[in-house]
Amino acid sequence: MPALVPRPTEATFRPGHFTLDADTSLHIGEGAEQAAELLRTLLAPATGLALRPSPDGRFTLALDPGLGDLGEEGYALAVDPNAVLLRAAHPTGLLRGIQTIRQLLPTQALSGLPQSGIRWLLPCADITDVPRHPWRGAMLDVARHFQPVSYLRRYVDVLALHKISVFHLHLTDDQGWRMPVAAYPKLTEVGGHRAESQIGPAGSDAYDGVPHGGSYTRAELADLVRYAAARGVTVMPEIEMPGHVRAALAAYPRLGNHPEHTLDVWTRWGVCDTVLGVHDEVLDFCRTVLDEVMDVFPSPYIHLGGEECPTTEWTQSAAARGRAAAEGLANPEALHGWFLGQIGDFLVRRGRRPVGWAETGAELPLDFTVMTWRDSAHTLTAARRGHPVVSAYHRATYLDYAQSDDPHEPPAQPGGVVDLHSVHGHDPVPEEADAESAGRVLGTQAQLWTEFVTTPAHIEYLTYPRLCALADRGWSGAADWADFRSRLGEHTARLDALGVRHHP
Ligand code: ACM
């Protein structure tokens, strides 16, 4: 029985095979066109199969409203010697099923090069598959180190293989601003480049002397959104505020608390003291930026960052203290929640859902979806408060930590090891949660911060196989480590066929 990752909810395998060959045609039901296109696109390079549409096709892809119990992403797959039937209630379910079909075929089907002499056999099976959690995410930080959009498409390909639902794109930070905004061209012209980068962890005084920069075009990002959607992956953009904005302040000092200061795009790592001002022009800036972000990214969720925002500048600024008083706030520190509340309301009025990183789980406005990262207990705090929550607990989901204590591991975030077992062992739903709080946990997400990660090869080394573990646990819910380990052995051959440069 083939070792699928993530593990399907129910799978029964029977003797026999369905053979895909030059004569195999697809019977494509209404609404299944996108899934058929994806199947062809994914299988063509290795198999050369045309998979033409035909009303007599024995390989059927169909939407079936009667399968509503399977939700947005669930699917049912039946393979017999004479027929394949993939059904789902929603198009996304069909896309998930396509990835299962891909894994059921011989591993060579995943290669990007033509394969000869392989019989493309699908084992006879009945599979019914529904994810435990809708949010199975992966965050990539392209602010600390830029990656071209060609690599982001490749990154999405491998997410989709693992049925990851959300690609969280961390587009802005102190060290770089990567998305163009027509009304503020200097965000990328100035904010997209830094003079050099710190070598070593926060606190080090060594620099590499190498300029680093890059930004996407609007067309590239829009194309990435379409590419990911065709694979059932939603791209959620993140625009950090009111902290982690040094690159924006280097471009437009008037958005800060010291308009007379010239700032560089930050070359250090760590938490930067410079934050946005709280005057009206700043709120207008954020709304203008987010209007353009919403034009490019249809994602229902828009991430506003929100974490690690020192309030020293506000405490010292007469203007900020004046704003706090005018808004009836107890102190300048309260401007943090006020600021995010203003911008969160703006997103809600536009029909989107604001997302923020939690510091405690109890500090963000109530209409925020919360990503808990510092402490696993914050998930329960936030859920009890009524927030939808995604667990991004750093000890289980931060892929910038080394995956072993081997001294030969490449440079990583200091302070710990996040091994494969910790990732698979993490249940995003806290044990103590009652049914109502548990129901607010949307799922889990892996984070790759890239202070120390400059190349695609290093990204893949840190991401795989740990993301396989997160995808498996997030989809199946099952904590069976031994079972996962045994499936991973076979799955690793798939990563190899795709050319993923994973950790051994
Ligand atoms: C974070 O690690 N800055 C959320």
Pick the catalytic residue from 308, 375, 409, 496. 308
Residue 44's SS3 state is: helix
For 166-194, the pLDDT digits (tens) are: 999 999 999 999 999 999 999 999 999 99
Whether the predicted pLDDT of 38 surpasses 90? yes
Tell me, in angstroms, the distance from the centre of ligand 1 to residue 132's CA: 26
Residue 243 lies in a domain: yes
Rg (CA), the chain: 24
Strand ranges, E, within 260-360: 301-305, 353-357
Pick the catalytic residue from 141, 173, 307, 359. 173
Task: Verify that 102 and 157 share a domain, yes or no.
Answer: no
Whether the predicted pLDDT of 67 surpasses 80? yes
Determine whether the shortest distance from the Cβ of 308 to ligand 1 is under 6 A: yes
Tell me the pLDDT band of 482, cut-offs 50, 70 and 90.
Answer: very high
Strand ranges, E, within 248-290: none
Determine whether the shortest distance from the Cβ of 357 to ligand 1 is under 6 A: yes
Task: Verify that 97 and 204 share a domain, yes or no.
Answer: no
pLDDT at 439: 98
Tell me how far apart the alpha carbons of residues 330 and 75 are, in angstroms, rounded to a whole number: 52
Task: Verify that 120 and 198 share a domain, yes or no.
Answer: no
pLDDT at 201: 79
* Residues belonging to the chain: 504
Read off the pTM. Answer: 0.98
Q: Which atom of ligand 1 is least distant from the CA of 392?
A: 4
Task: Verify that 122 and 210 share a domain, yes or no.
Answer: no
CA 227 to chain centre: 14
Q: Which atom of ligand 1 is least distant from the CA of 244?
A: 3
Q: Which atom of ligand 1 is least distant from the CA of 447?
A: 2
Pick the catalytic residue from 133, 244, 336, 378. 244
244 a catalytic residue: yes
Tell me how far apart the alpha carbons of residues 260 and 128 are, in angstroms, rounded to a whole number: 62
Nearest CA to ligand 1 atom 4: 357
Tell me, in angstroms, the distance from the centre of ligand 1 to residue 373's CA: 7
Task: Verify that 398 and 280 share a domain, yes or no.
Answer: yes
Whether the predicted pLDDT of 202 surpasses 80? no
Tell me, in angstroms, the distance from the centre of ligand 1 to residue 388's CA: 18
Q: Phi and psi of 85, rounded to 5°?
A: -130, 115
Tell me the pLDDT band of 425, cut-offs 50, 70 and 90.
Answer: very high
pLDDT at 474: 98
Task: Verify that 231 and 124 share a domain, yes or no.
Answer: no
Which of 67, 100, 129 is at the close of a domain?
Answer: 129
Q: Which atom of ligand 1 is least distant from the CA of 398?
A: 2
Please, which residues have CB within 8 angstroms of residue 120's CB and are 6 or more apart in sequence? 19, 20, 21, 43, 47, 49, 105, 106, 109
Determine whether the shortest distance from the Cβ of 373 to ligand 1 is under 6 A: yes
Nearest CA to ligand 1 atom 3: 307
For 349-390, the pLDDT digits (tens) are: 999 999 999 999 999 999 999 999 999 999 999 999 999 999
Tell me, in angstroms, the distance from the centre of ligand 1 to residue 52's CA: 47
Determine whether the shortest distance from the Cβ of 460 to ligand 1 is under 6 A: no
Please, which residues have CB within 8 angstroms of residue 280's CB and are 6 or more apart in sequence? none
**Bridge pairing between strands 59-63 and 75-80:** unpaired
Determine whether the shortest distance from the Cβ of 307 to ligand 1 is under 6 A: yes
Task: Verify that 81 and 170 share a domain, yes or no.
Answer: no
307 a catalytic residue: no
Residue 4 lies in a domain: no
69 a catalytic residue: no
Three-class DSSP labels, 98-160: HHHHHHHCCHHHHCCCCCCCCCEEEEEEEEEECCCCCEEEEEEECCCCCCCHHHHHHHHHHHH
Instruction: Please state the rounded mean pLDDT for residues 228-244.
Output: 98
Task: Verify that 296 and 250 share a domain, yes or no.
Answer: yes
Instruction: Please state the rounded mean pLDDT for residues 298-326.
Output: 98
Residue 1 lies in a domain: no
Whether the predicted pLDDT of 307 surpasses 90? yes
Whether the predicted pLDDT of 411 surpasses 90? no
Instruction: Please state the rounded mean pLDDT for residues 275-292.
Output: 98
pLDDT at 27: 98
Give residue 107's domain range: 10-129
Task: Verify that 78 and 24 share a domain, yes or no.
Answer: yes
Instruction: Please state the rounded mean pLDDT for residues 118-131.
Output: 98
Place of tokens 């007469």: 318
pLDDT at 127: 98
**What rounded mean pLDDT belongs to the chain?**
97
Determine whether the shortest distance from the Cβ of 297 to ligand 1 is under 6 A: no
Does 259 sit behind a cis peptide bond, omega within 30 degrees of 0 on the bond before it? no
Nearest CA to ligand 1 atom 2: 373
pLDDT at 240: 98
| Count: domains in the chain | 2
pLDDT at 275: 98
Which of 80, 112, 129 is at the close of a domain?
Answer: 129
The shares of helix, strand and coil residues in the chain, as percent rounded to the nearest 5, are: 35, 20, 40
- In which region does residue 238 sit, left (phi positive, over 0), alpha (psi from -120 to 50) or beta (all else)? beta
Tell me the pLDDT band of 271, cut-offs 50, 70 and 90.
Answer: very high
Tell me the pLDDT band of 1, cut-offs 50, 70 and 90.
Answer: confident
Instruction: Please state the rounded mean pLDDT for residues 217-222.
Output: 98
pLDDT at 204: 87
For 382-406, the pLDDT digits (tens) are: 999 999 999 999 999 999 999 999 9
Which of 100, 129, 158 is at the close of a domain?
Answer: 129
pLDDT at 315: 98
Tell me the pLDDT band of 203, cut-offs 50, 70 and 90.
Answer: confident
Whether the predicted pLDDT of 103 surpasses 90? yes
Task: Verify that 254 and 339 share a domain, yes or no.
Answer: yes
CATH number at residue 185: 3.20.20.80
Task: Verify that 254 and 388 share a domain, yes or no.
Answer: yes
Tell me, in angstroms, the distance from the centre of ligand 1 to residue 308's CA: 8
CATH number at residue 85: 3.30.379.10
Whether the predicted pLDDT of 108 surpasses 90? yes
Tell me, in angstroms, the distance from the centre of ligand 1 to residue 446's CA: 12
Determine whether the shortest distance from the Cβ of 451 to ligand 1 is under 6 A: no
Task: Verify that 65 and 147 share a domain, yes or no.
Answer: no
pLDDT at 373: 98
Tell me, in angstroms, the distance from the centre of ligand 1 to residue 144's CA: 13
